[in-house]
Amino acid sequence: MIADPVRVMLCDDSAVTRSALSRIVESDPLLRIVARSGDGQQALTEVSRRVGNQPIDVLLLDIEMPVMDGLTAIPLLLRADPRLRILVVSSHTTTGADTALRALHLGAADYVTKPSAREDANSELFEQEFLAKVRGQAKLARNALGMSAPGAKPGDRRMTLRPMASEPPELLAIGSSTGGPQALFMLMKDLGRRLRVPAVLTQHMPPNFTTLLSEHLGRVSGIPCREATDGEPLAAGTLLMAPGDRHMVIESSGSGFRARLSDGPQVNFCRPAVDPMFRSAAVATGGRMLAVVLTGMGQDGLAGTTAVIEAGGTALAQDETTSVVWGMPGAIAQAGLCHAVLPLPSMAAKILELTRQS
């Protein structure tokens, strides 16, 4: 028996969904379901009861439920236990992406879709990402208490950092995946309207989600932010986001740059992917760019960051402590490609420091 495993609670009015999610969660020996409920009021009662004594680490929360729905429950749950990490689990995160983004704004940590809503998806890949999100959110919950999550192996994380590039960046390019939406909310809010260079973003997300995420990022930051269109010029202080299911590459265009969209094959099992954006931007800018890799599974961004560094550019990675999953940023950090590895709250200040040189 593993000491003090991650405590997970399920809140969904569907017994079928609770059973399906239970099977996935309990396949991981580091996770344990300690409570189940069928509506938000029951969840609130249970979370409140456990504060200070075996508190819930991660709550898997449905949106549409009787008595109290998920959106109503989120702020009340976080008021009862501010360290609680809420994963919204609902078919509405596919058919109604706006609901998922509203949940994130209310304080939910992330979202996943119900297995029944992903009939076209590879179930094994879904389960891997689902469990990674649960484990990652549990890590952040335990960090809030100064505790390590079960199975955490800090190990030797000494990394070789590179000296900052001498040429100031003309472009900011950001890549993110698992845990990315909330990380992007914080980063873009901290950047605000102070960004002086064009910015591009690839977040692993399906269509509709990218449209709405770009709109939400614009609202929280004040930075003009939207999905890119094919051939659109990049503008200083504006963020263009790769649309779901399309790669975004960057080309030089006169004295500036433009975004081009591609329906090419998946890269690193993703479309959009970070590598094509980074590689093309390195060529377009002649290396005068800043690549930022935030939380995410896998190694998308590693090959692209290598191209950025070889061209003379600069790379930053989110640190392990603040990442939901330290896959993508960890890959470039441990490959010795980073000029700095930073906690998320410090990332915007470093970006502004570097881009203000230009």
Active site residues: 177, 204, 300
Contact by Cβ (8 Å): 313, 285: yes
**How far is CA 301 from its chain centroid?**
14
* Structure-block tokens of residue 237: 């202080």
For residue 328, report the phi and psi dihedrals to the nearest 5 degrees.
Answer: -60, -50
H or E element in which residue 70 lies: helix 70-80
Relative to beta strand 239-241, strand 225-227 is: parallel
Question: What does each C-alpha distance from 239 to 1, 29, 184, 253, 278 come to in angstroms?
Answer: 48, 41, 12, 17, 15
Q: Are strands 6-11 and 58-61 parallel, antiparallel or unpaired?
A: parallel
List strand residue ranges (DSSP E) for 115-185, in order: 172-176
